[in-house]
Structure 1
Amino acid sequence: MSTNRLGRGLGALFQEHDIESLESFEQVKEGEVIHQLEVKSLRPNPYQPRKYFDENKIKELAMSIKEHGVFQPIIVKKDIKGYIIIAGERRFRAAQKAGLPTIPAIIREFNDHLMMEYALIENLQREDLTAIEEAEAYRLLMQKLDLTQERLGERLGKSRAYIANTMRLLQLPRSVQDDIENGVISVGHGKVLAGLKDEELILKFTNIIKEKQISVRELEDLVKQVGTAQAEEDKKTKREVNPHLEYVESNLKSYFGTKVKLKEKNGKGQIIIDYMTMDDLNRLLEKMGLE
């Protein structure tokens, strides 16, 4: 996410809370010395919300570094084990890939509070954040500045609904978040899945998305079908239950591996077996011995 995409809100937010902009932060201050630090002595900021780095872009940067060197020094903090990277992790990764033994760096003093602060700044002012990284940055920013979703949205020029829907992605199982970050499923899919409370159902739908390449609209339709089926299930629990039918229904569910409903009235009835996809239907037909 670039500063332009956020409008003037991000700069105003940082200024209001006395947070230095990334551009200003990475400038060499008067009296500072640029050191050549061993690459092997560096490690990432533990508060870095970014988990995914585009390998192709890292390779491109590594090629440039091999030819021209590292022009912009990284910012680090010294600690007992070496140095922690505060800003410039991509340059560090590219320098590693390029095989550089050292990298230019500015050493500054930081407490944990400032380390987290500038990790957020560096991420929110970049153009290629994933939706999960964006959500994580919002979460940390809200905690750090003690802001509500509505207030944060106002300061960033985003609606409260946009902030809320983006942050809901963090409620998804970690494996589903990884699928979103890696582009296996879309952010739109993720936002639909985030509306579900049942983790098992979320994982089932995620597999359907990946196997069948269904659209967000098709996923919404499937979710509605499940909601309707659940409403019918709730109605069923309100009526008088026939113990024998309940036993048969339970066994059929176990056998077919899907929802099965038995409807009975005056000695007659129906058996309703749910399926989610055509492959699911074919699986059920095979169970029945039908081709």
Structure 2
Amino acid sequence: MANKKGLGRGINALFSDFTEEKEIDEKVEELQLSEIRPNPYQPRKTFDEENLHDLAESIRKNGVFQPIIVRKSSVMGYEIIAGERRFRASKMANQDKIPAIVRAIDDEQMMEIAVLENLQREDLSPLEEAQAYSTLMENLKITQSELSERLGKSRPYIANYLRLLDLPTEVKSMLQNGQLSMGQARTLLALKDKDKLVDLAKRTVKENLTVRQLEQIVNEMNGKKKIKKDKKKKLSPYLLESQTQLQEKFGTKVAIKANEKTGKGKIEISYLSTEDFNRILDVLNIEL
């Protein structure tokens, strides 16, 4: 079995951990599509139909260049470990068979690979990513800290995603279909009166509120004093939008202070703890 602490190194390292001894004997087989079923632990629920049609057309003309990876099912046939897009596109292209590599892995590895594969390709929506973390914790009986270590993600990063699961169903749908951003959804969670959360989410979509505007509204609804406007010169629309995008990217308060006459300025990124600081470093791909 793979070294669990090696999971944070990425899916390629994970595969090599438990296959390096068999790699020489490994071969590509032609398997019937009818004998294969999707990964039961696949966290991704939606697939881009347009991209699938493009891939299907390519497969129809040129075949499948990269084999999918499967394992033998305990029920019947095979289960996909990696390559569900190629599998779906092959069915769409009316193919009978697909090249595949059969590997022996257990359920625990199957779940971890499914999440890692999608995370590395950034294929998951925020809600799908949150559900994937929740499923791993529940099925593997592990804590947020343990999951953080195994996936190479900071604990605050995982915690921020798990909080999305507390959103009302209607708001989750808005997040899933792209009407709300991750930053907007997280800001909505700060609203104390949860009965007003759905209405505020609808207002956010209707008025196209920025995260900064939404934060102000949430603070006012929570009874906090209205934030005093900065007496300094207001930022240009370009810098304001840049500031909002940076806040969404880093999941924390970001302030741009600029002198647009000279073109000079600075960017301040706030963090709440050492773990939060490390999470921001992760986003920046900085290793210390």
1:74 to 49, 68, 72: 68
Determine helix, strand or coil for the equivalent of 1:35: strand
For residues 133-154 of structure 1, give each alpha carbon's deviation from its aligned partner in whole angstroms, at most 9, with x where no partner exists.
3333444455577665456557
Amino acid corresponding to residue 113 of structure 1 in structure 2: E
CA distance, structure 2, for counterparts of residue 193 and residue 126 of structure 1: 27
2:87 to 88, 92, 96: 92
For residues 14-55 of structure 1, give each alpha carbon's deviation from its aligned partner in whole angstroms, at most 9, with x where no partner exists.
279x99525777999332342222223322111111122222
Q: Residue 201 of structure 2 aligns with which residue?
A: 206
Q: Residue 165 of structure 1 aligns with which residue?
A: 160
* Residues 56 and 90 in structure 2, CA contact (< 8 A), matched pair in contact too: yes
Q: Residue 288 of structure 1 aligns with which residue?
A: none
Q: Residue 7 of structure 2 aligns with which residue?
A: 14
How do 1:211-230 and structure 2 match up within 5 A?
211-228=206-223
Shift of 1:70: 0.7
Q: TM-score, normalised by structure 1?
A: 0.62
* Residues 22 and 121 in structure 1, CA contact (< 8 A), matched pair in contact too: no
* Residues 6 and 14 in structure 2, CA contact (< 8 A), matched pair in contact too: no
Shift of 1:172: 1.5
Q: Residue 245 of structure 1 aligns with which residue?
A: none
* Residues 137 and 143 in structure 2, CA contact (< 8 A), matched pair in contact too: yes
* Residues 179 and 205 in structure 2, CA contact (< 8 A), matched pair in contact too: yes
Question: Is the counterpart of residue 83 in structure 1 residue 75 in structure 2?
Answer: no
Q: Residue 63 of structure 1 aligns with which residue?
A: 57
Determine helix, strand or coil for the equivalent of 2:178: coil
1:34 to 24, 28, 33: 28
Determine helix, strand or coil for the equivalent of 2:30: strand
CA distance, structure 2, for counterparts of residue 191 and residue 117 of structure 1: 25
Instruction: Call closer, same or farther: CA 1:15–1:160 in 2, change over 3 Å.
Output: closer
Determine helix, strand or coil for the equivalent of 2:29: strand
Unaligned runs of 5+ in 2: 225-288
1:185 to 180, 186, 199: 180
1:124 to 114, 119, 130: 119
Shift of 1:188: 1.0
For residues 95-120 of structure 1, give each alpha carbon's deviation from its aligned partner in whole angstroms, at most 9, with x where no partner exists.
12222222112233343223212212
* Residues 22 and 122 in structure 1, CA contact (< 8 A), matched pair in contact too: no
* Residues 34 and 104 in structure 1, CA contact (< 8 A), matched pair in contact too: yes
CA distance, structure 1, for counterparts of residue 28 and residue 79 of structure 2: 16
* Residues 175 and 185 in structure 2, CA contact (< 8 A), matched pair in contact too: yes
- The percent identity for this pair of structures is 46
Instruction: Call closer, same or farther: CA 1:189–1:102 in 2, change over 3 Å.
Output: same
Q: Residue 275 of structure 1 aligns with which residue?
A: none
CA distance, structure 2, for counterparts of residue 138 and residue 147 of structure 1: 10
Amino acid corresponding to residue 31 of structure 1 in structure 2: D
Unaligned runs of 5+ in 1: 1-10, 230-291
CA distance, structure 1, for counterparts of residue 192 and residue 39 of structure 2: 33
* Larger-gyration structure (1/2): 1
CA distance, structure 1, for counterparts of residue 18 and residue 128 of structure 2: 21
How do 1:234-253 and structure 2 match up within 5 A?
none
* Residues 67 and 98 in structure 2, CA contact (< 8 A), matched pair in contact too: yes
Q: How many residues get paired?
A: 219
